[in-house]
Amino acid sequence: MYIKQIYKDKYEQLTNWKKYETIINQFRRKSIRVNTLKTTVPKLEKELKKQGWSLTKIPWCKEAYYIEGLRRDIGNLEEHKEGHFFSQRSTSLVPSIVLQPKETDVVLDMCAAPGGKTTHLAALMKNKGAIVANEPVPTRRRELEINLQRCGVMNTLVTQQNGLTIKDVQFDKILLDAPCSNSGSLRGNTKKSAEIMQQWSKNKVKKFAKLQKKLINHAYSLLKPKGVLVYATCSLDPEEDEEVLEDLLQKTDAKLQTINLPIKTTNKKYCKIWPQDQNTDGFFVAKITKP
């Protein structure tokens, strides 16, 4: 994969470059989450194994597997069309698990499309309580709606607006899966990886960080007392991760909570997941509470 020199110079300071470079040049393992709103884990496991797929449990999510087979187009499987599973990266399972929504909660998913995490939240809530899934980009909002329908989600209202303009409503729990530079998603010599690398620049990272700080502070203002906010990005750039978190902690009374999951992370409190540590994407997740 082509890597810009400025990227290499920066990342050599952040991690073990050799190990990082080796892993990001390999393809990511495909993974799925069983949609328990439509089927059960044993049923889908049995069906996919019967078709010759090899499944390996993902340690931090009991409904998810790494999946391998002769084909790679798992999106064309009948079970996918029927909404029995969601093709979801193993790292992107973490935020909804950490948010731990209850069946009585009112939840905001501020940046929701294409809906991997909204459908996960709905499944964890057993289609009860209520979710507001917001996505400002019309084509992406449509994709979100299609996925909600495919997965049989019934407790979710879709809105289409800039997250910063959501007002006059308070939530028990909020997921902010922020727009980001996507540096954690560099895996394999693909068109997508080339696109991420081509678009990555120090200026872009700065721009995203500015928006992310606004979004996290606004999300926190929409949280009820005792509420929980989960901040996530698929970026590994500290400006979009630790610095955004720090901005919120400095400006408000927000408290950072420890995340305890069977996942390797370079920090004890929040999850900073490096691709080389367990052959995944790179990801950042932090859990915050309001007193």
Ligand X SMILES: C[S@@+](CC[C@H](N)C(=O)[O-])C[C@H]1O[C@@H](n2cnc3c(N)ncnc32)[C@H](O)[C@@H]1O
Active site residues: 234
The CA distances from residue 117 to 7, 107, 175, 255, 288, in Å, are 29, 12, 9, 23, 18
Minimum CB separation of residue 279 from ligand X in Å reads 21
Whole-angstrom Cα Rg for the chain? 18
Residues 134-193 within binding reach of ligand X (CB under 6 A): 134-137, 140, 162-164, 177, 179
Residues 184-243 within binding reach of ligand X (CB under 6 A): none
Minimum CB separation of residue 192 from ligand X in Å reads 14
Q: Which of 83, 101, 116, 227 binds ligand X (CB under 6 A)?
A: 116
Q: Which of 99, 111, 158, 230 binds ligand X (CB under 6 A)?
A: 111
Q: Which window, 75-83, 131-139, 196-204, 247-255, contacts ligand X (CB under 6 A)?
A: 131-139
Q: Which window, 18-26, 33-41, 69-77, 104-112, contacts ligand X (CB under 6 A)?
A: 104-112
Minimum CB separation of residue 134 from ligand X in Å reads 6
Q: Which of 83, 101, 115, 129 binds ligand X (CB under 6 A)?
A: 115
131 binds ligand X (CB under 6 A): no
Dihedral sign for Cα 233, 238, 241, 247, please. negative
Pick between residue 53 and residue 285 the one whose CB is nearest to ligand X: 285
Query: From CA 198, how far away is CA 186, in angstroms rounded?
Result: 11
Binding mask 65-94 for ligand X (x = CB under 6 A): ---------------------------x--
**Angle between helical axes of 17-24 and 5-14 (0-180°, round to 10):** 120
Residues that bind ligand X (CB under 6 A): 92, 110-117, 134-137, 140, 162-164, 177, 179
